[in-house]
A and B are shown apart, each in its own frame.
Chain A
């Protein structure tokens, strides 16, 4: 083993040697530095490996051969090995990244860079507090040097501010050390810890000054203006070092020194950490400069870690895992993002769309963003999960709320940024070149996020059950993204089919409810993927995203514990976000989808954590709650309702569904929304089935469902955009479904399941058909279409079947839902809610008619006279689903009877009876089969009769209509479609005034406004910043003492 002392000797030695190298051998000098950095990395790496394999114990190394206090001792333990390895790795990668810059700057820059990395190593390793001070200064000066290297005016200015700030901080630290030495008579950190200095006031001040100074080094909000300027103006490679390596090192120092404070000290740290986390992320919302934004994010993440250090006594044995996963996520993502910022060279985040010139970079960018927010499968997901679980278990609910609030703010700006990158306008010509030495470090940290994430899962309770096989499959699919779309489509369908085959037959035997939803998710997924054959070209990124969503959907069906469920849920959100945002104008909608999803997921997380604290993380734990059960149910219900787009949480849906691509809309509407439904029924089952029928949470949800149905349908009737109409209709339909399930009786649940199956079928048909029509006519506006029945009879029939099913007209299966609905509502006694839902159901006729009439009937437009029938790849899945509707309509008992049997276990009373094909309740009866037969025969007879009567009818041309002696001008002026329900709007339009959008807009304006207001403290003036630092310490001092 190479002694850690050689980290110093090697670095110092090479740095000195560089001084002697002449200016001619630049390559040699640069290579020497890289070799030195590699050597440092190797040293810490080999120690890390030794500790990891368990063969090594912590060692102390003494300089100069004496024992302390006459010498400095360096400690190399597991923690130090990890931290120095992180520092040296990013040091090496950043040096590779900065190779050209450093090379051009020459030997001095190389030496300073080396000294910077060495300084960071020593402050981690050293056990001597004065030595710590010295090397903090060393790294400060080196850092300032590296900042100034940029040779731009603002870089020099910010370097100077950095010197002022760190100078002041250093003097506080030095004062603290002096006081500490006075009381302990030692400079060794171990002695400082053991001395219990906080027992007397002078000692407390020493502790205060030391910890305060270290904290200030971590750039706490709001005394961090100087740091933001540095992040903004330093070379991205250097900013990466400051954020990832320096941040990590100083955090470790704080961790090391935190024990010199008392328990109160920990609490204070936690408070200051969380203030930084929330404050910094809040202010980030208004920021548009990429590097400065990364600065805000860095400060925020480090604040979170400070809070975690402050919670060390509370977190106990989970502390190391939480701190490591969150730290390493920050470390990897921030290094990667800063490097990316250097590659793309765009300050304004709106210009980051240029990343799409190299899609590979966009993937990396997305990876880092999702890593920072804590999405699966990245390490921070597991870190945050454990953090929230542990905090909740120890009853720190306010802290949980604060952490999630800060994370949410961070999500706001990061997703906005990601949205710009994915959807913003790309420059025509290439704006940047990729150099191999710049891209390799980014790629390495990108890959590491996945690997570390994968390994993190096994350290979390229940994490080993997570099924990674679909993700590996998706990774492979991603690697072959260069193939043509149809090849990938075949692979995707094959993969989905196998995935379904692997678990659906088993579920069919064991759990009918899950099977139904599994079949909708996977079966529906395969059907909608078939439509994807229409796409030409490569369709980059589509298949990984779609399959991530379906893997998530499959995951929530298969989940056995809360972690698996949450993992799958977040995966589904991630995939669906990328799918949604692919649409042409879907950037703002994808953004609001993500915000609602993230907020909903956080509420779920809290609910899960509270459950876990009481009853463990098994999925059945939800039914074993002993306290706060209603609150937990409410949190989870709101979380799920963000996906079902219940009123109040629905504003993301219309845009997201309407602007998505033609075959994505059915995926996210017919299929994805059912995930929320599945979550809700899982929750309702846990609430104890029939016993829960009187639960007030359910009562409220029932009303919400009814109002959602009304408002959703009413709004749908007033849309001019065909896909928006369908999207609003989904809101309404999901309102029915929510309402039906909250009834919590056998019949109510059968209603809900019938509605769910129907909604899946008809909404997939309608969205596919309308989406395919839109592909042909190139507009969403219904009044610009018309008369298309002549050109697209197959699409017309599909939409006709779809709307008959939707509106619940017998004999199709929609009526099964309506009939069950009536029976369950009357037996439950929810008459008024039921009447509202019924009213909503009739309003559905308005938009059903509008959809089919405006698009297919009325007057054909001149420009559509030669338009072709919709693509065969849409017709195939549509007609498969039409066959399914026909079977379900004629023989509903084939589906409803087994489901009825399955849920009879939960709801034993007032069940639905089947006598052959006739269903009966204590109220009424109905035979789907007989109705179908009677109507079929009657229709055939009447049709035959009319054919006999009208056999002579002549087909006439379009304009041959009774027009009161006048002549119709043009199809456009004759097609009565725009604002067709003007009268209805006058009568009832006030019900759909956008109160809720206005509410959320004002919330968002308020947040942005306050971010803008508080941001003014960062004046850019070095003196002000110095004042901030001093005031910060002074205020803390006044609070404590």
Chain B
């Protein structure tokens, strides 16, 4: 396939994912508001926010790394997008997934995290550093059940290629990993709660009157870029889970439905449970989720 055509499809995919991500975040915030008895934001609020942030006249920087932090962060988000096959069977929407497999995607998440941490670090704000230290701490154990789940399905399907994992789940709902490997799915879906960072695992950004967390010092277009990235990342991480556990998507409609419910799962839990302290959330993933992961592996040993 001509590289130009491929790039055009990549950009098209990115455009869809970005807008779906923005819309979905608005829906989720509205759901949260309704649960709390508020009316909530209008559905177009995320677009307005973005336009406002990108068009602010003043902005400041604390140095080169501060400047580069959001670049790293977005590269991380877009990079995962680039290496992720979106629509099963579509050579147009499989992006650059030929360059690497599931391991590449798992490790590429760190690229953005690390860059963001460094950028926020140069901001010099103590709250940023606290947020990062909490984020990294929590992230270490979030990944443990996730790893076990990934190993389990790699053993199950004998491949680390995401396309092949999706292919193996075709031919009916009962072929989904959700049913063929329920413990791996359970472990992964619990670790997803941490990865998406909603309550009870939202101490990292700790929404509050005082802004706390890595992006404390970011504003204007810097923050706009980060928001853009968040929208992409939410969808693409949901797509990852969709590909691994819920049979992938044969078309965009399926992708939107499935990614919505995967994302909704973390919001659903978030509105029910209050926030954990950091040592609680670190330990939480080493309890039930870890057990599920271990069982998932024992089954396929």
Contacts and interface: CB of A to CB of B under 8 A. Distances in A.
B110 A953 contact: no
A809 B59 contact: no
B237 interface: no
Nearest to A965: B210
B118 A955 contact: no
Most buried by B among A808, A838, A852: A838
Q: Is the interface of B mostly helix, strand, loop or mixed?
A: helix
Interface stretch (B121-129, B192-200, B245-253): B121-129
Given A842-B140, A857-B118, A942 B74 contact: yes
5 contacts: A808-B110, A835-B297, A942-B74, A984-B137, A987-B282
Given A852-B118, A857-B65, A822 B103 contact: yes
Contacts of A946: 67, 70-71, 221-222, 225
Interface string A460-481: 0000000000000000000000
B147 A950 contact: no
A850 B161 CA distance: 34
Interface in A935-978: 935, 938-939, 942-943, 946, 949-950, 952-956, 958-964, 974-977
Given A826-B155, A849-B132, A954-B60, A839 B140 contact: yes
B294 A832 contact: yes
A858 B125 CA distance: 7
B111 A938 contact: no
B297 A832 contact: yes
B129 A983 contact: no
B70 to A, nearest CB: 6
Most buried by A among B63, B99, B301: B99
Interface in A808-862: 808-810, 815, 818-819, 822-823, 825-826, 829, 831-832, 834-835, 838-839, 842-843, 845-846, 848-850, 852-853, 857-859
A858 B121 contact: yes
A926 B160 CA distance: 10
Interface stretch (B26-34, B75-83, B171-179): B75-83
Interface in A919-947: 922-927, 930-931, 934-935, 938-939, 942-943, 946
Given A809-B111, A983-B137, A819 B59 contact: no
B124 A980 contact: no
Interface in B58-111: 58-65, 67-68, 70-72, 74-75, 78-79, 82-83, 96, 98-104, 107-108, 110-111
A142 B256 CA distance: 104
B23 interface: no
The 7 closest A-B pairs by CB, nearest first: A924-B160, A857-B121, A983-B278, A924-B101, A976-B126, A987-B282, A976-B129
Most buried by B among A818, A848, A987: A987
Nearest to A814: B107
The number of chain B residues touching the other chain, given as a range, is 35 or more
Contacts of A818: 103, 107
B154 interface: yes
Interface residues of A, number: 79
Given A953-B67, A961-B123, A984-B278, A927 B100 contact: yes
A943 to B, nearest CB: 5
Interface string A761-797: 0000000000000000000000000010110010010
B160 A976 contact: no
Contacts of B147: 835, 838-839
A954 B118 contact: no
A818 B107 CA distance: 8
Interface of B: 54, 57-65, 67-68, 70-72, 74-75, 78-79, 82-83, 96, 98-104, 107-108, 110-111, 113-114, 117-118, 121-127, 129-130, 132-134, 136-137, 139-141, 143-144, 147-148, 151-152, 154-155, 158-161, 210-211, 216-217, 220-222, 224-225, 277-280, 282-283, 293-294, 297, 301
Nearest to A980: B133
A975 B96 contact: no
Contact of A923 (B57, B154, B221): B154
A926 B99 contact: yes
A959 B126 CA distance: 11
B144 A983 contact: no
Nearest to A837: B147
Given A857-B121, A938-B79, A946-B67, A981 B139 contact: no
Given A808-B110, A942-B75, A950-B59, 8 more contacts: A810-B111, A831-B151, A923-B159, A926-B104, A949-B54, A955-B62, A956-B62, A984-B278
Nearest to B155: A826
A625 interface: no
A852 B100 CA distance: 29
Contacts of B144: 835, 838-839
B160 A987 contact: no
B222 A950 contact: yes
A815 B104 contact: yes
Contacts, number: 249
Contact of B217 (A852, A853, A924, A961): A961
Contacts of A845: 110, 113-114, 136, 139-140
Contacts of A953: 59-61, 67, 220
A808 B114 CA distance: 11
Contacts of A831: 148, 151-152, 155, 297, 301
A2 to B, nearest CB: 82
A891 B116 CA distance: 27
B137 A981 contact: yes
A826 B114 contact: no
B134 to A, nearest CB: 6
B217 A849 contact: no
Contacts of A956: 60-62
Contacts of A961: 62, 123-125, 217
B99 A835 contact: no
A444 to B, nearest CB: 62
B100 A923 contact: no
B211 A962 contact: yes
Contacts of A1026: none
Contacts of A807: 110, 114
Contact of B136 (A838, A849, A942, A987): A849
A153 interface: no
B210 A964 contact: yes
A918 B97 CA distance: 12
A846 B148 contact: no
Most buried by B among A789, A793, A964: A789
Contact of B158 (A922, A935, A954, A974): A922
A561 B133 CA distance: 51
Contacts of B221: 946, 949-950
B78 A938 contact: yes
Contact of B133 (A826, A930, A938, A983): A983
